Structure 1
Amino acid sequence: MLTRNAYSLADLSLSAVFRRKWPSIYEALQDSRPQQQKLMQLYIKQMPTQSRPLLAGDHTAWSRPDAVTLQERTIEHNSATVPGNKPITIGQGYSTIAWIPEDSGSWALPLRHERISSWENPIQKATWQLQQVCEHLPTRPISVWDSEYGCAPFVLKTANIRADILVRLRSNLCLWGAPPPYSGKGRPRKHGEKFKLNEPSTWSQATQSIKLNHSKLGRVKVSLWSNLHFRKTATRPMSLIRVERLNEQGNLRVSKPNGTKKSRNPCGLSSLQLFL
């Protein structure tokens, strides 16, 4: 009654008669247990329908090594460790799927942000979240994922989800091409030639390759390979995209893709891959 322009709980807590301030606001949110499914549907209604939405999924670790009474602590990967130590920590893991509304900038709308329990793994949680989001989207989205999800289990679990997936691959992985035609003898082959990402001698001829000038990256070459698969996903063919930055003479200028901090690729093989 005393706060005329209270558009949120934060505005209400600034009222002169609201003595408890911020702590009670957090306590109220914790006790209210808002329905995540309804919140997600409300967020989706704010998204425009003129174009395909871009979703981003990731697994984030929250390090809590000293919170010995915290329930459900798990072993999490942590890259910010002391040199010489193992990149792990004790804490909690969270899985997030967010809508990316802009081509540039860091603003995003989290559609689902949930704890990964001790009986789940990041791939299981991300698959379930992606399924929940796609069931309420009016158009087929494009979702982007880090190299943690560039594996056969993620491909198999997302096979029936109505979404296109763009995921980064580690350079030490091995893919397989399409099998040759059946010879009529014995069991039909499931795999073709081996395609090792860190051995260019095993690469087949690219299906398509283009060169273009990017406003920020300069001269860029993009190559596409079709009908590749993991050994355990022979029934799920996919396409591989390689991005190279070139100098003015057309030679390789950068040994790995710009901004891919987790990519360890001496051959400049980008870990971008589009599942169709």
Structure 2
Amino acid sequence: MHDTGHAGALGDLSGFRIAFYQCLTGRADALFELTDAVLCADGPVTSLAELSLAAEHRRGHGALYDAINYGSIEVDRLRTTLAGLPLPRAADGRIVLAVDVSPWLRPDAACSPDRLFCHVYGRSRSASQLIPGWPYSFVAALETGRTSWTAILDAVRLGPSDDTTAVTATQLREVVGRLIDAGHWHQGDPRILIMADAGYDVTRLAFVLADLPVELVGRIRSDRVMLRPAPPRLPGANGRPRKHGGVFTLANPDSWHAPDRTTHTDTTRYGHAQAQAWDRLHPRLTHRGPWLDHEGELPLVEGTVIRLQVEHLPGDRDPKPVWLWSSVTDATVELVNLLWQAFLRRFDLEHTFRLLKQTLGWTRPKLRAPESADRWTWLILAVHTQLRLARPNIEDHRRPWEKPVTQPRRLTPARVRRGFRNLRSTTTRPAAAPKPSRPGPGRPLGSTNRHPALRHDVGKTIKRDLTLEQHQSRTA
């Protein structure tokens, strides 16, 4: 992040607090003080009711729940505000974005609609589970170097009728558009890098976003089969020209040809790292999944395949090669190094998810309505943004067993949060004082609930109009 000085950083923080308050159009004072309670609470957030006891929250727990359930936030305006803040950049000055999904697990909330089966990892390395919950797709800007900081720019909840690839493409298109409108990218600047982990159809994303100044990098499975470009057509040859060339099987070294680029880098964390790059390889596309409704002949989406092999991993684990596919073609040695190093920075987003869940209490509330969950999610994102803006002005309040940090930029988000209460008195506080009121009568004593909540199914409840066979026969 560019250092604007302590005064400039404090001005950015105060300006964001005012802009964030203006985005709150219903129960604004209660919602704003709730974010201050999350920022200044002692220790991790365990429940919403406990936040009402913080000194920064001058209202009761009833007003807190009323704000979460019935307040309103202008989300589009808040997204524009986040895009206008200073952004971290890579070593060469370009913007690096990461996209990933993190679930809010609600296995026992049978009365909560729009739940999906979310893939989570079990305690053992090979164990995985599918647990009902609300999956959220996040887009964040990454910093350079080893850090636990990211700049979250957007969050979208995935519903039962949503196609993950289509929602991600729309989300990335809107985020990039807001960054361009905010002046973070101009004509002639290096293209924006977008990092995606395994599970994303990075080829489809590269095809849909081809009109934007972006380059996609995604991890692919080690059992994938890629194809080389078709060889030149010989003079006088008859028949239909070939569309694909030879097979490039990732798991079979005998099918590889000599790499177009090979780099060697000595790292402090992984030892010696070797990256081999093969240019202009493409997958074989079929009319399935996101390509089901594609009209006409399927395109050839060429890119660069990168095989990254490191010497060792933390914890003395056996290092396995990582395969990446990038939409970049004719990549230089310097660009190949930048691509795999930027992809490793994508894992910084996992630290952000851990902070949101374990420290800021993103998934702690037992909310029934998904709209309330969206509202609470955006409040947590506003909290995280304020921590990022407050980083240059926070003094380290370390525990006796923690190592001292001399540079504020090296403070973790949790340690910045410890000192936010002292900084809050120097920033703007637009929330008005509460007015005296009386609680409502509530349900009469001894009466029972005659309107039980509806129970909702879990999973993809929206089916396609046509089966795959019917769709193929119709388009034939």
Q: Of 76, 81, 85, which aligns to 1:46?
A: 85
Q: How far has the Cα of 1:102 moved from its partner? A: 4.0
* TM-score for the superposition, normalised by structure 1: 0.80
Q: Does 1:201 align with 2:254?
A: yes
Q: Within 1, Cα distance between the matches of 2:251 and 2:310?
A: 17
Q: Give the letter aligned to residue 37 of structure 1.
A: D
Q: Does 1:24 align with 2:24?
A: no
**Residue 117 of structure 1: aligned partner:** 159
Q: How far has the Cα of 1:134 moved from its partner? A: 0.9
Q: How far has the Cα of 1:203 moved from its partner? A: 1.1
Q: Does the C-alpha gap of structure 1 residues 128 and 191 become closer, same or farther in structure 2, counting only changes over 3 Å?
A: same
Q: Within 2, Cα distance between the matches of 1:96 and 1:32?
A: 23
SS in 2 for 1:182: coil
Q: Give the letter aligned to residue 58 of structure 1.
A: D
Q: Does the C-alpha gap of structure 1 residues 26 and 207 become closer, same or farther in structure 2, counting only changes over 3 Å?
A: farther
Q: Does the C-alpha gap of structure 1 residues 207 and 102 become closer, same or farther in structure 2, counting only changes over 3 Å?
A: closer
Q: How far has the Cα of 1:133 moved from its partner? A: 0.6
Q: Of 230, 237, 241, which aligns to 2:302?
A: 237
Q: Give the letter aligned to residue 41 of structure 1.
A: T
Determine which structure has the larger helix proportion and give its number: 2
**Residue 242 of structure 2: aligned partner:** 189
Q: Within 2, Cα distance between the matches of 1:110 and 1:162?
A: 20
My pick for the range that moved more, 74-83 or 91-100, is: 74-83
Q: Give the letter aligned to residue 213 of structure 2.
A: R
Q: Within 1, Cα distance between the matches of 2:307 and 2:109?
A: 43
Which deviations, in whole Å up to 9, do the C-alpha atoms of 1:182-204 show, x marking residues without a partner? 23422121111111111111112
Q: Within 2, Cα distance between the matches of 1:170 and 1:16?
A: 48
The aligned runs of 1:209-224 (5 Å cut-off) are 209-224=262-277
SS in 2 for 1:190: coil
**Residue 230 of structure 2: aligned partner:** 179
Q: Of 104, 122, 128, which aligns to 2:146?
A: 104
Q: Does the C-alpha gap of structure 1 residues 159 and 267 become closer, same or farther in structure 2, counting only changes over 3 Å?
A: farther
Q: Does the C-alpha gap of structure 1 residues 213 and 240 become closer, same or farther in structure 2, counting only changes over 3 Å?
A: same
Q: Within 2, Cα distance between the matches of 1:83 and 1:268?
A: 14
Which deviations, in whole Å up to 9, do the C-alpha atoms of 1:219-255 show, x marking residues without a partner? 1211111000111275221001111124xxxxxxx5x
**Residue 271 of structure 1: aligned partner:** 323
Q: Does 1:55 align with 2:97?
A: yes
Instruction: Give structure 1 stretches of 5+ with no counterpart.
Output: 247-253, 260-265
Identity of aligned residues (%): 22
Q: Within 1, Cα distance between the matches of 2:57 and 2:324?
A: 54
Q: How far has the Cα of 1:267 moved from its partner? A: 9.2
**Residue 262 of structure 1: aligned partner:** none
**Residue 142 of structure 1: aligned partner:** 193
Q: Within 1, Cα distance between the matches of 2:207 and 2:97?
A: 19
SS in 2 for 1:206: coil
Q: Of 218, 237, 240, which aligns to 1:167?
A: 218
The higher-RCO structure (CA 8 Å, 6+ apart) is 2
SS in 2 for 1:147: coil
Would you say the 8 A contact 1:191–1:234 is kept in 2? no
Q: Give the letter aligned to residue 116 of structure 1.
A: L
Q: How far has the Cα of 1:145 moved from its partner? A: 0.6
Q: Give the letter aligned to residue 189 of structure 1.
A: R
* TM-score for the superposition, normalised by structure 2: 0.48
Q: Does 1:228 align with 2:281?
A: yes
Q: How far has the Cα of 1:181 moved from its partner? A: 0.7
Q: How far has the Cα of 1:25 moved from its partner? A: 4.2
Q: Within 2, Cα distance between the matches of 1:242 and 1:86?
A: 26
Q: Does the C-alpha gap of structure 1 residues 53 and 30 become closer, same or farther in structure 2, counting only changes over 3 Å?
A: farther
Q: Within 1, Cα distance between the matches of 2:208 and 2:243?
A: 20
Would you say the 8 A contact 2:119–2:131 is kept in 1? yes
SS in 2 for 1:105: coil
Would you say the 8 A contact 1:228–1:240 is kept in 2? yes
**Larger gyration radius, structure 1 or structure 2:** 2
Would you say the 8 A contact 2:260–2:278 is kept in 1? yes
Q: Give the letter aligned to residue 304 of structure 2.
A: S
Determine which structure has the larger strand proportion and give its number: 1
SS in 1 for 2:274: strand
Measured on the aligned residues, the alpha-carbon RMSD in Å equals: 3.0
**Residue 249 of structure 1: aligned partner:** none
**Residue 250 of structure 1: aligned partner:** none
Q: Does the C-alpha gap of structure 1 residues 85 and 212 become closer, same or farther in structure 2, counting only changes over 3 Å?
A: closer
Q: How far has the Cα of 1:87 moved from its partner? A: 2.6
Q: How far has the Cα of 1:67 moved from its partner? A: 0.7
Q: How far has the Cα of 1:11 moved from its partner? A: 4.2
Q: Within 2, Cα distance between the matches of 1:88 and 1:133?
A: 30
Q: Within 1, Cα distance between the matches of 2:303 and 2:251?
A: 18
Q: How far has the Cα of 1:31 moved from its partner? A: 3.2
My pick for the range that moved more, 149-158 or 12-21, is: 12-21
